[in-house]
């Protein structure tokens, strides 16, 4: 487990908004499989919020265990169902701090690579989530006993569900306005190229579904897998399309193709090209086999003298 997430994913500080929330310590007891346990929670607008890592530690080693990690490349929390969690020294530590700083959190969270939109808060430098939402989406039992004023957690698995009703859509192609996505730079202005250099001007990406509908989409690059993922901008639609990126260098009639990786050294891929004449580097993908005729460009950087 990475040390960068020791404090329950405190790296999300930069994503927390400045929305104030009336936050008080939760007065309810918490039981796991009928045994009382001490886990710190806060009550906001009648809902109980708990640290994600505390709940993962609580359920570690049970049928409902799940793992929590932080993906620095995507700046996101990643939850893996049916995976065991290794407890940290900072887990399930009860703080007596009476000062509570609470803000709405915009931290991205994925469960098994699927984005989940949680109502979350950033409380005293940690991300807190509604316990019922975690139980519903990850798949473990959560209830409340009014008579004993007790939050009831059980380690039995439940079928995970979405927080909102979403339509699953199958996508089979996508398109970009390639000509409008070009960018001009001088040879001596840059010595490296990243995924962001090719995607920062991609304001128009449209996904096409198998039933011939079109959806405005967003494009996200994952450095660890060297893949791009397209998903609909409207969260009520559920689905994605992935592709592995490649590069095409063109100068006059000469064309060469390269595997893409983040932080490409310009001089390495242009060693057989002249810097005395203009050329272009396009990022794209292969529609089918890795054949030059199957290359489809989605963004272009033009190099000029």
SS (H, E, C) 106-144: CCEEEECCEEECCCEEEECCEEEEEHHHHHHHHHEEEEE
Do 80 and 224 lie in a common domain? no
Render pLDDT for 55-88 as a digit per residue (tens, 0 to 9). 999 999 999 999 999 988 788 999 999 999 999 9
Do 172 and 252 lie in a common domain? yes
Do 187 and 251 lie in a common domain? yes
Q: What is the domain extent for residue 123?
A: 3-157
Q: Please answer whether residues 213 and 206 qualify as being in contact, where contact means their C-beta atoms are separated by less than 8 angstroms.
A: no
Number of folded domains that form the chain: 2
Do 271 and 145 lie in a common domain? no
pTM here is 0.71
* In a domain? residue 96: yes
Do 59 and 151 lie in a common domain? yes
In the chain, pLDDT over 70 holds for what percent of residues? 91
Q: Which residues fall within 8 angstroms of residue 132, CB to CB, at 6 or more apart?
A: 47, 48, 142
Q: Of the residues 124, 157, 190, which one is the last residue of a structural domain?
A: 157
Pairing mode, strands 150-157 and 29-32? parallel
Do 254 and 150 lie in a common domain? no
Give the pLDDT score at 13: 37
Instruction: State in Å, rounded, how far the first CA of the chain is from the last one.
Output: 48
Q: Of the residues 95, 125, 157, which one is the last residue of a structural domain?
A: 157
Do 253 and 147 lie in a common domain? no
* In a domain? residue 247: yes
Do 132 and 249 lie in a common domain? no
Render pLDDT for 228-245 as a digit per residue (tens, 0 to 9). 999 999 999 999 999 999
By CB neighbour count within 10 A (0-12 exposed, 13-18 middle, 19+ buried), where does 180 fall? exposed
Render pLDDT for 111-164 as a digit per residue (tens, 0 to 9). 998 889 999 999 988 999 999 999 999 999 999 999 999 999 999 999 999 998
Q: Please answer whether residues 157 and 139 qualify as being in contact, where contact means their C-beta atoms are separated by less than 8 angstroms.
A: yes
């Amino acid at each position: 487990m990475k040390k960068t997430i020791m404090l329950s994913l405190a790296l999300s500080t930069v994503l927390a908004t400045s929305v104030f929330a009336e936050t008080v310590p939760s007065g309810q007891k918490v039981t796991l499989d009928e045994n009382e346990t001490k886990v710190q929670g806060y009550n906001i607008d009648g809902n109980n919020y708990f640290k994600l890592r505390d709940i993962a530690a609580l359920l570690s080693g049970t049928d409902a265990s799940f793992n929590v990690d932080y993906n620095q490349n995507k700046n996101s929390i990643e939850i893996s169902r049916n995976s065991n969690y290794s407890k940290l020294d900072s887990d399930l530590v009860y703080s007596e701090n009476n000062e509570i700083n609470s803000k709405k959190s915009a931290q991205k969270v994925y469960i098994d690579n699927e984005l989940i939109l949680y109502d979350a808060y950033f409380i005293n430098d940690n991300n807190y989530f509604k316990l019922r939402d975690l139980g519903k989406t990850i798949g473990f039992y959560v209830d409340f006993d009014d008579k004993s004023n007790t939050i009831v957690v059980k380690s039995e698995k439940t079928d995970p569900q979405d927080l909102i009703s979403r339509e699953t859509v199958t996508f089979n192609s996508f398109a970009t306005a390639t000509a409008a996505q070009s960018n001009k730079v001088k040879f001596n202005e840059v010595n490296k190229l990243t995924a962001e250099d090719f995607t920062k001007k991609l304001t128009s990406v449209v996904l096409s579904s198998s039933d011939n509908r079109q959806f405005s989409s967003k494009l996200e690059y994952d450095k660890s897998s060297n893949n791009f993922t397209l998903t609909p901008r409207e969260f009520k639609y559920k689905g994605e399309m992935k592709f592995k990126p490649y590069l095409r260098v063109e100068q006059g009639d000469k064309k060469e193709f390269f595997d893409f990786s983040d932080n490409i050294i310009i001089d390495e891929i242009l060693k057989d090209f002249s810097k005395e004449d203009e050329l272009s580097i396009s990022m794209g993908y292969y529609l089918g086999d890795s054949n030059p005729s199957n290359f489809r460009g989605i963004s272009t950087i033009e190099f000029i003298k």
